[in-house]
Copies of this chain bind each other. A is one copy, B any other.
Amino acid sequence: MTEIELVRWIRARGKGIGDDCAVLPGGLIVTTDMFIEDVHFRRGEPPALLGHRALARGLSDIAAMGGVPRWCLLSLAVPEWAKPAWVKRFFTGLLDLAKRYRTQLVGGDTSHAKQATADIVVIGSDGGLLRSGARPGDGIYVSGVLGGVPKKFEPRIALGRFLRNRATACMDITDGLSLDLHRLCTESRAAAVLDRPLPVAHGATLEKALHWGEDYELLFTAREEPPRSHRGVPITRVGTIVRGPAGRIEFFGRPHTPRGYDHLGSHA
C-alpha cells in the first residue's frame, strides 16, 4: 500500500473528507489543522505570530467554504523550551485574531511533546461552497498574489462570504496553486487550462507562484466574471475549466504535472 493508496483508503472511509471543512447536518462546518514545529514553523519565530498563523490556517478553511467562523478549540503540546511566557504570547496572538473574526475559543487540550504542536479546530456556520462544483466554461480565479511569504496572512473570510453564492467551487491554496487546482478539478471531475499571467508576488518567481504552499489565498471558479477586487483584495482570472480527464491541467498549451507539498507523502 503506497501513501496515495492509504490516503484514498482513509478518504473512502470518512464521508465528506475532500473539502476544506466537513459539513454537518444543520449547516455547521468543521475544520482541523495541525501546526507543527520544524514542519510548519521554526522555534525562533515570534510566538504571537505563531498563534495568529495557527488560527488563521483554520479560518482560511472556513473562508474557502464561504462560511462564518463561530467557535474554535486549540490543542497545544509544548516542549520544555516553551516557557509559560511563550505559551501566553502564542495565545495572545491567537486570541487577537479570534476577536477580530468574532470567533470564540471554547475549549481545547494541553499536553507536552518534543516538538511544539498545535491543532486548531474551527467551527463555522453557513458554509457550503465546495471543491466539486466547477463546470466546463467556468473561469478560474485566485485572490491576492502568489508565491509571497506573508508572515502574518489574513484569512479571506470577507471574500469567502462574497463568493458564497457567486463561485461554483472554492478552496484555499495551502499546497500550491498547481496541486490545489489539480485537487479542485479532480473533485469536480473536470480539467483546467491555465492560459493567463499569474499574479506573481513581488520578488517571487513564476515557479514559486505555481508551487508555493503557504499562500492561503482563495482559488475559485465562477460562471459570471467577478469584480477585479473585493475590499482591496485583487481577484485575477488565471484560466478556464474545460472538459477532460478529471484533474488534468494544461499550462500555456502544455500538460502540467501537479506538484507541491503533499503532507502525508513528504516523508515517504
Contact = CB atoms under 8 A, between A and B. Distances in A.
Interface of A: 1-3, 5-7, 9-10, 13-17, 21-24, 26, 28, 30-34, 36, 38-40, 70-71, 73, 75, 77-80, 84-85, 87-88, 91, 95, 104-115, 117, 119, 121, 123, 263-264, 266-267
Contacts of A6: 84, 87-88
B119 A32 contact: yes
A106 B73 contact: no
Contacts of A73: 22, 30, 32, 121
A112 B31 contact: no
A34 to B, nearest CB: 5
29 contacts: A3-B84, A6-B84, A6-B88, A7-B110, A9-B88, A9-B91, A10-B91, A13-B91, A13-B105, A16-B106, A16-B107, A17-B106, A17-B107, A17-B108, A21-B107, A22-B73, A24-B106, A30-B107, A32-B107, A32-B109, A32-B119, A33-B109, A34-B77, A36-B111, A39-B77, A39-B113, A110-B263, A110-B264, A111-B264
A105 B75 contact: no
Nearest to A31: B107
Nearest to A264: B110
A62 to B, nearest CB: 13
B5 A266 contact: no
Contacts of A123: 24, 30
Given A84-B3, A88-B6, A32 B112 contact: no
Nearest to A4: B84
A107 B14 contact: yes
B112 A30 contact: no
Given A2-B84, A16-B106, A22-B71, 17 more contacts: A1-B85, A6-B87, A10-B110, A22-B107, A24-B70, A24-B106, A28-B28, A30-B73, A32-B119, A34-B77, A34-B109, A80-B267, A111-B263, A113-B113, A113-B117, A114-B114, A117-B117
A162 B117 CA distance: 37
Contacts of A80: 267
Contacts of A39: 77, 111-113
Given A16-B106, A16-B107, A30 B121 contact: yes
A234 B106 CA distance: 33
Contacts of A36: 77, 111-113, 117
Contacts of A107: 14, 16-17, 21-22, 30-32
Given A14-B106, A266-B112, A119 B34 contact: yes
